[in-house]
Structure 1
Amino acid sequence: MKKASLALAVLAASTSAAWAQSSVTLYGIMDAGIRYTSNANAGTSQRQLIPGGMSQSRLGINVTEDMGGGMKALANIEHRLNSDTGVPSSVNASGVNDFWRQAWVGLQTNAGIVRLGRQYNVLFDAYAATLASYKYSPFAEIFKPELGMTLGARQDNMVKYSFASGGLSGSLQLSAGEATTNNKSAGGLLKYASGPFAVVGTYLGVTDSSGKKATATIVGATYTAGPAHWNVVYATNKFDTGSLLQASITGSLGANAGGAAYNALTNDVSKRNMFQAGVSYQLTPQLNLGTSLYLVDQTPQTAGRAKSKLTLWSAVADYAFSKRTDAYLEADSSSFNSAGVARFANGASKRTGVTLGLRHRF
């Protein structure tokens, strides 16, 4: 009996191995930096250890099963954490630690990929994959104003279909609200790339739990010539009165970039525009340089209230010790340049920051 059971077990193992090959990959990033910020606390500067200057620290698992014939099963779960304390890096709309930032299962065929679960939306995909502020690292985690235009960057309960054919690629997403906040969505992305040139356009509409809608449109282009890479992007958000997504830019600008002050009137935003232009340059195989400028304006819903404007700038020098470990120096500035916007808590209209950090990918 024991011999028969052993034979059956060996046969089952060899049979499954013959038609399906699975792989499970553990991956992650650990990033920490020392940061100086001017006008941080009632007119005084601030020095702190931050849990990520260029990247949010994370730990994830990718699963792939090759089922033959061009078909693969896919799955991903990813946790974000603060490297200075070890705690989860975000809190969701219910005030609970948001442990899994991604959690989805998918199927890849010759016709494309379908993913189901919590995942990045098409607006985030446009920035991270094509319109990144820095080609070698999509954006600086400590200063990422473009992500404020992505209506939350992720949606729960999502079905996303992605395809690629030659230089043309795209995605469609749908997500059910299921009575939760900010998750009912529909949108798409279309990209064309040819040689050194790429252009992308995307649209997304998101309805919050109160039935209020927010929409976003992002269009941009990139051009690469040798070690130089340029990008130009225009993004716009529109909000229904009372939309819970009006303050979406706050978390991405953060206190360092003036987000909290910029959104003092978080429930009085009709339209928000952002123009972005940047360049990255690979000076040596190890050293990458980059800079990006962001011009933001925000129109209030209250009649007679002035439009607010914000000028943002960042620059990064990144030195790679190896394929996995790099050090970086980041500098940024925020400037309110209109009477219609609230100032920082200390009344200042400008703030600057400098971060020196270390990052390891595994």
Structure 2
Amino acid sequence: MKNAAMALGLVAAGVSSAWAQSSVQLYGILDAGVRWTSNANAGSSKNQLIPGGMSQSRLGINVTEDLGGGLKAIANLEHRLNSDNGTQAATDFWRQSWVGLQSSEFGRITLGRQYNILFDIYTSTYASFKYSPYIEAYKPEIGLSMGARQDNMVKYLAEFGPVRGEIQVSAGEGNTQNKSFGGLLRYAEGAFSAGGAYLQVEDTLGKKVKGYTAGAGYNDGPWYLNVSWATNKFDRGGLLGAAYTSGLLGPVLNAAANDVKKRDMVSAGFTYQATPQLNLGAHYWYATQTHYVVSTSKSKGHYLAFVADYAFSKRTDAYVELDYTKHDGAVRFQNGAEKRGGAIVGMRHRF
């Protein structure tokens, strides 16, 4: 009896120890910058304190629990906020909210509101800058990511050596605009990475938006180089046109936000680490767009940005950013301007 009790005690201690292998991590970014924009208000310039120059400010929680046998339970909640006034950055309080299982042998499956595969392949494989995937206040490439996130998503990720694959499926549930499916494939070995992805989203009218992207990155010593291509194709008369075309730096399409037929973008850029603290980067994006109604010719967009980023520590950095935009054809800014310049001086802290 005494031996049995001891054995049960050892088992209980082992189970308690296994259950104790869990962690809850609080993380976040606070970013704020002073931005100047030309042709912002009926041709006049605009000065403002923006809540995110290089990164959108956020507060998040990561949860990991070791279930034993190479299996982990994982979860994430992430809230986006405006650092300039403390308000909520979007109508959805949680910009990410998912739970899942991760296996060392079989990969990872997650369920909930998550980044879509277009965003995943871009930020993991051929991001615009080495020290920040994109410029939060100036991100034309994210305008082709079809919302960057989807609700009601099931995503599966698996890695086999240098190869990673992902599949996503989102349930439209009869009354939302995010019924989707797609996949990505990525290869990364040493300094080189390349990949591509396809995503289709369907609205409640049965109209579809299809997105494709491919690109590569090279990171060796102080140099990081990247090149990418992306396209979105829109069914005529769909409900997603306004949502998925407004992300390209805020231009309107002659008051016909659902008039986009096809949008293509190619881009290339580099980052050079001049010193252990100082990174210098530049990126150029070129977009073309065809329309169903307003024009039979192509609209064009030219986008150029330069960034200097100085790291005071691993967590705190300051940056200076310059950007220039020029539109041709049916695309204009909301005040009718075709050209616009901008500059940001800001500071960012990660924790």
Q: TM-score range by the shorter chain?
A: over 0.9
User: In the alignment, residue 184 of structure 1 is paired with which amino acid?
Assistant: K
Q: Secondary structure at the match of 1:260?
A: coil
Number of residues paired by the alignment? 343
Q: Which residue, 112, 129, 140 being the options, matches 1:134? A: 129
Q: Which residue, 187, 196, 211 being the options, matches 1:192? A: 187
Question: What is residue 277 of structure 2 aligned with on the other side?
Answer: 286
Residue 145, structure 1, aligned to residue 140, structure 2: yes
Partner Cα distance (1:262, 1:279) in 2 = 31
Q: Which residue, 269, 274, 284 being the options, matches 2:260? A: 269
TM-score by length of 1: 0.90
Question: What is residue 224 of structure 1 aligned with on the other side?
Answer: 219
TM-score by length of 2: 0.93
Residue 246, structure 1, aligned to residue 235, structure 2: no
Question: What is residue 109 of structure 2 aligned with on the other side?
Answer: 114
Partner Cα distance (2:33, 2:233) in 1 = 35
Partner Cα distance (1:200, 1:136) in 2 = 20
User: In the alignment, residue 212 of structure 2 is paired with which amino acid?
Assistant: T
Q: CA deviation at 1:247?
A: 3.0
User: In the alignment, residue 101 of structure 2 is paired with which amino acid?
Assistant: L
Q: Secondary structure at the match of 1:32?
A: strand
Residue 43, structure 1, aligned to residue 43, structure 2: yes
User: In the alignment, residue 81 of structure 1 is paired with which amino acid?
Assistant: L
User: In the alignment, residue 247 of structure 1 is paired with which amino acid?
Assistant: A
Partner Cα distance (1:182, 1:162) in 2 = 24
Q: Secondary structure at the match of 2:138?
A: coil
Partner Cα distance (2:325, 2:287) in 1 = 11
2:294–2:330: 8 Å Cα contact kept in structure 1?
A: no
Partner Cα distance (1:56, 1:230) in 2 = 24
Q: 1:360 to 1:214 in 2, by over 3 A?
A: same
Residue 98, structure 1, aligned to residue 92, structure 2: yes
Q: CA deviation at 1:164?
A: 0.9
RMSD: 2.0
Q: CA deviation at 1:343?
A: 3.1
Partner Cα distance (1:164, 1:59) in 2 = 28
Question: What is residue 3 of structure 2 aligned with on the other side?
Answer: none
Q: CA deviation at 1:222?
A: 1.1
User: In the alignment, residue 99 of structure 2 is paired with which amino acid?
Assistant: V
User: In the alignment, residue 73 of structure 2 is paired with which amino acid?
Assistant: A
Question: What is residue 311 of structure 1 aligned with on the other side?
Answer: 302
Q: How does 1:291-302 map to 2 (within 5 A)?
A: 291-302=282-293
User: In the alignment, residue 295 of structure 1 is paired with which amino acid?
Assistant: Y
Residue 360, structure 1, aligned to residue 349, structure 2: yes
Structure 2's unaligned 5+ residue stretches are: 1-7
Partner Cα distance (2:134, 2:175) in 1 = 29
Partner Cα distance (2:227, 2:148) in 1 = 20
Residue 351, structure 1, aligned to residue 346, structure 2: no
User: In the alignment, residue 221 of structure 1 is paired with which amino acid?
Assistant: A
Q: CA deviation at 1:252?
A: 3.2
Partner Cα distance (2:295, 2:44) in 1 = 34
Question: What is residue 85 of structure 2 aligned with on the other side?
Answer: 85
Structure 1's unaligned 5+ residue stretches are: 1-7, 91-96
Q: Deviations over 1:237-289 (max 9, x none)?
A: 001112222234555333xxxx2335742111110000111111111111111
User: In the alignment, residue 348 of structure 2 is paired with which amino acid?
Assistant: R
Q: CA deviation at 1:303?
A: 7.8
Residue 332, structure 1, aligned to residue 323, structure 2: yes
Question: What is residue 93 of structure 1 aligned with on the other side?
Answer: none
Question: What is residue 236 of structure 1 aligned with on the other side?
Answer: 231
Partner Cα distance (2:126, 2:207) in 1 = 28
Question: What is residue 4 of structure 1 aligned with on the other side?
Answer: none
Q: CA deviation at 1:301?
A: 1.3
Q: CA deviation at 1:323?
A: 0.6
Partner Cα distance (2:74, 2:26) in 1 = 14
1:148–1:248: 8 Å Cα contact kept in structure 2?
A: no
1:241–1:267: 8 Å Cα contact kept in structure 2?
A: yes
Partner Cα distance (1:24, 1:31) in 2 = 23
